[in-house]
Amino acid sequence: MYALVTGASRGIGKSITKALLRDDFRIIGTARSSEFPNEFTQNNRFQSLYVDLSDPIAVEKKIKPIFEREEAPNVLINNAGIFKESGFDKGDEFWLEQWDQTMQVNLRAPALISKWALNRWTKEGEGYLINVSSRAAYRGDTQEYSAYAASKGGLVAFTKSVARDFGEQGISAYSIAPGFIKTDMAMDSIDVYGEEYLTQGMAFDEITSPDEVGELVAFLASGKVPHMTGSTFHINGGSYMI
Ligand code: NAP
């Protein structure tokens, strides 16, 4: 199996990449600018790619050709995402800037990359799309993060549309909806509110490890459960159950 994992340098993407390398995948892992762990760069099944998903020209130049090569990934994991604060008290210009950037990175780029992958996979009769959404898609977020929640809700609806229409062509699509996961993205909230505050209402007294998300993605990417297509997998320490 051969996967493209966006945001593979840190956090959830790093855990996904670790689990997939263990499971003998070949991987193209992307990041915006930070270095990849040595355990990845020293593995000859790992190839790194720097691309800023907020730059549509760079996305087209660097990612589109991956799905036009003789051998292309048959698994796409759209994991990279941003969590930008912008309250309703901010000026329209700034508010829309944050909105547009969030949509570009969290929804527009993943959808376009998925389109390139799907057009390739329909020719090959196999493919697995895994989109990392958020619990914010289901429960909303504070108004400062409404763009984030909207982008993640859009990603779930997009994934379901792929699942509905491409199953007969051997393609499955899944969404993951994590709650608070212990990564740099969650650290801002941990720093402000403390871990204890964030675990209130959870079934556990600690925030979820990114490695659990890595294991879940590795299971879905294995191709063992294609009929779970269209499903969203909630991994939030029991903070809500649906
Ligand atoms: P993270 O620790 O902040 O890591 C983000 C990853 O995405 C990094 O590899 C980063 O690359 C990459 N990235 C960020 N902006 C990018 C851009 N403009 N272009 C290209 N790559 C970019 O985040 P995380 O917590 O692992 O989150 C991963 C996914 O899970 C996101 O979609 C997030 O929304 C979702 N999620 C996270 C949580 C949570 O509590 N952590 C909860 C729900 C959902 P660099 O290292 O180069 O910056």
Question: For 113-129, how does the pLDDT look when each residue is reduced to its tens digit (9 = 90+)?
Answer: 999 999 999 999 999 99
- Spatial strand order in the sheet of 46-50: 46-50, 26-31, 2-5, 75-78, 127-132, 171-178, 232-235
In a domain, 181, yes or no: yes
Mean pLDDT to the nearest integer, 133-139: 97
pLDDT interval class at 71 (50, 70, 90): very high
pLDDT attached to residue 112: 99
Of 55, 7, 50, 4, nearest to 27 by C-alpha is 4
159, part of any domain? yes
Residue 115 contacts residue 76 (beta carbons within 8 Å): no
From residue 112, alpha-carbon distances to 77, 78, 90, 104, 200 in Å are 13, 11, 30, 10, 37
pLDDT digits 0-9 by tens, 73-106: 999 999 999 999 999 999 999 999 999 999 999 9
Ligand 1 mean position, distance from CA 53 (Å):
11
Q: Is residue 193 part of a domain?
A: yes
What amino acid positions are annotated as catalytic residues? 148
Ligand 1 center–CA 169 separation, angstroms: 30
Looking at this protein, which amino acid is placed at residue 216?
L
Burial of 1 (0-12, 13-18, 19+ CB in 10 A): middle
Task: Inform me whether the pLDDT recorded for 175 exceeds 90.
Answer: yes
Average predicted confidence (pLDDT) for the chain: 97
Identify whether 12 is part of a domain: yes
pTM of the predicted model as reported, rounded to 2 decimal places: 0.98
Confidence at 14, pLDDT banded by 50, 70, 90? very high
Q: Where are the beta strands (DSSP E) in 25-126?
A: 26-31, 46-50, 75-78
pLDDT band at 195 (very low <50, low <70, confident <90, very high): confident
In 3D space, the residue among 95, 83, 81, 161 whose CA is nearest the CA of residue 129 turns out to be 161
Identify whether 240 is part of a domain: no
What pLDDT score was predicted for residue 26?
A: 98
Q: Quote the ligand 1 centre to 51 CA distance (angstroms).
A: 13
pLDDT of residue 43: 98
Indicate whether 105 belongs to any domain.
Answer: yes
Cα-Cα end-to-end distance for the chain: 31
241 domain residue, yes or no = no
Q: Could you read off the pLDDT of 177-193 as tens digits, one per residue?
A: 999 999 999 888 888 88
Which residue from 6, 10, 190 has its CB within 8 A of the most atoms of ligand 1, so it is best to mutate? 10
Ligand 1 residue neighbourhood (C-beta within 6 Å): 7, 9-13, 31-34, 52-54, 79-83, 105, 132, 134, 178, 180-181, 183-186
2 with 23: CB under 8 angstroms? no
Query: Residue 196 pLDDT more than 90?
Result: no
pLDDT of residue 122: 98
CB 92: neighbour CB atoms within 10 A? 8
* Closest-CA residue to 128 (of 216, 45, 223): 223
The CATH number of the domain holding residue 144 is 3.40.50.720
Residue 85 lies in a domain: yes
Query: Residue 134: which domain range?
Result: 2-235
Instruction: Please say whether the beta carbons of 80 and 53 come within 8 A.
Output: yes
Number of separate domains in the chain: 1
Query: Between 166 and 201, where is the model more confident?
Result: 166
